[in-house]
Structure 1
Amino acid sequence: MELKIFIVLFCALFTGGHSLKCYECTGPIGSCVNKETTCPSFANVCSTQTTVTGDNVSSMQIKSCTVSEACTSSSINFGVTRTVTSTQCCNSDLCNSKYAPDSSANSPNGKQCYSCDGLSCTNKLKCIGNEDYCIKATVPAESGPQTLKGCASKSVCDSTSSQANAGFTGSCCQGNLCNGAKSVTQNLIFLLWPLFFYILLH
């Protein structure tokens, strides 16, 4: 009887004490150097993210330990520029050695949203891939809060409320052209879009 109890306890300790190991790196695609790391107890998967802004104007690779709830891909498209993040997750040691595929080259999905071009927000933008929501966002700028409009995926819309502390606020809707066409004044915020996209998607 005592031997059986010992075996059960030994197995429980052995399986419960195993920590997942993942590759970890951050940098442009092609220059990201894998480093082995032991994950904290709350992390249950290894992940690889590929983020592409514009027509491959910039691309970023991130590998890390994470939780399965974070294994989502996202896209946010304001017309002038678009940022797409592709995520792949796995749950065995060092399984995230490969790059996540670039999924930015998708076809229009039939949905349309209003977008801004610097002077007006009456432009109609064709949404792409998994961008099935319209978004209206406000971001900070030296001249005051600026309004951006466009298409977004559900994962982006789900995360907008958590960005309020960084000065970013946004709201999403699902009907065609549901994000309004009111004109706004835009300034140098267009030059800073990639930075705000990176903050939003990570």
Structure 2
Amino acid sequence: MIPSLTMKNLVLMTCVISALVASVVSVKCLACCSENSTTCNNVTEIECLGDYCMTCSQWFFNGNKEYNGILKGCPDAEMCENEGRTGGENLKFRFYTSCCKGDYCNRDQYRLPVDDRTPNGVQCDTCYSLNSTEECVSTKKINCTGNENQCFTYMGTMKNPDGSVVNYSLKGCANNYTCRYNVERHIGVTFLYGKGMNCYIPHNPPVPPKYTNGS
């Protein structure tokens, strides 16, 4: 009786495993990483779990240098159709991730949404220190724009898209997506050492409009 039950369980387990393997969905995507170009170089093909492929367009401004980059490959669920952005003294970056469904569908070109620079009422401390990983001291505020609703600090060592390695310390504005997700995977810079990015809600949130009687 026991051998019969064991064999039955083994057959059942085999069926379950087969069903799980059959239920795994994958898609073939184009893959590339061009850190200082808006066009893909050395495009390869990869297989991604799930239904979607992605294209991530990036823009990075550092002092007096401007970089563009494009990344194609497998997306995480949180990445699709999201825009990340920061604003600060002498350093800004933006990136947008578009996703599509189907084999080799991510053939779209470099694309960033229109940059909304309308002040939104949020203000953050801003400062920028080059060649230092010590926290920079802010002596002024910056007006956050668009959907930048959090403040951030960053201290660390990064490798820029042109290969140069620089120490940074900066403060400024950021949006929710930038703060929630690991932006170091997106912006074309390589985080080498430091405390990374820390976001916080500013002490001066947007003030709702006042209404008078009869309005």
TM-score between both structures, scaled by the size of structure 1: 0.64
Alignment of 1:112-131 (within 5 A): 112-118=123-129, 120-131=137-148
Distance in 1 of aligned mates of 2:102 and 2:128: 46
Instruction: Report whether the alignment pairs 1:60 with 2:69.
Output: yes
Q: Which residue in 2 is equivalent to 1:181? A: none
Q: Which residue in 2 is equivalent to 1:49? A: 56
What is the Cα deviation at residue 135 of structure 1? 0.9
Instruction: Report whether the alignment pairs 1:172 with 2:199.
Output: yes
What is the Cα deviation at residue 20 of structure 1? 0.4
Distance in 2 of aligned mates of 1:49 and 1:139: 24
Q: Which residue in 2 is equivalent to 1:75? A: 85
Distance in 1 of aligned mates of 2:183 and 2:41: 33
Instruction: Report whether the alignment pairs 1:149 with 2:171.
Output: yes
* Secondary structure in 2 matching 1:156: helix
What is the Cα deviation at residue 39 of structure 1? 1.5
Distance in 1 of aligned mates of 2:157 and 2:69: 24
Structure 1: which 5+ runs fail to align?
1-11, 179-202
Percent sequence identity is 23
* Secondary structure in 2 matching 1:39: strand
Alignment of 1:2-151 (within 5 A): 16=23, 19-27=26-34, 28-33=36-41, 35=43, 37-41=45-49, 43-54=50-61, 57-71=66-80, 72-103=82-113, 105-110=115-120, 111-118=122-129, 120-140=137-157, 147-151=169-173
Q: 1:113 to 1:16 in 2, by over 3 A?
A: same
Distance in 2 of aligned mates of 1:44 and 1:22: 10
Alpha-carbon deviations, 1:5-58, whole Å to 9, x = none? xxxxxxx799747630111122144441473524143x4420101110129811
Instruction: Work out the number of aligned pairs and report it.
Output: 163
Partner amino acid, structure 1, of 2:43 = K
Structure 2: which 5+ runs fail to align?
1-18, 130-135, 159-166, 186-190, 206-215
What is the Cα deviation at residue 152 of structure 1? 0.9
What is the Cα deviation at residue 128 of structure 1? 2.4
Return the structure number with greater strand share: 2
What is the Cα deviation at residue 88 of structure 1? 0.5
Distance in 1 of aligned mates of 2:153 and 2:31: 34
What is the Cα deviation at residue 146 of structure 1? 5.9
* Secondary structure in 2 matching 1:59: strand
CA RMSD of aligned residues (A): 3.6
Q: Which residue in 2 is equivalent to 1:7? A: none
Partner amino acid, structure 2, of 1:123 = K
Distance in 1 of aligned mates of 2:102 and 2:33: 20
Alpha-carbon deviations, 1:142-199, whole Å to 9, x = none? xxx8642100111222246999984233332223569xxxxxxxxxxxxxxxxxxxxx
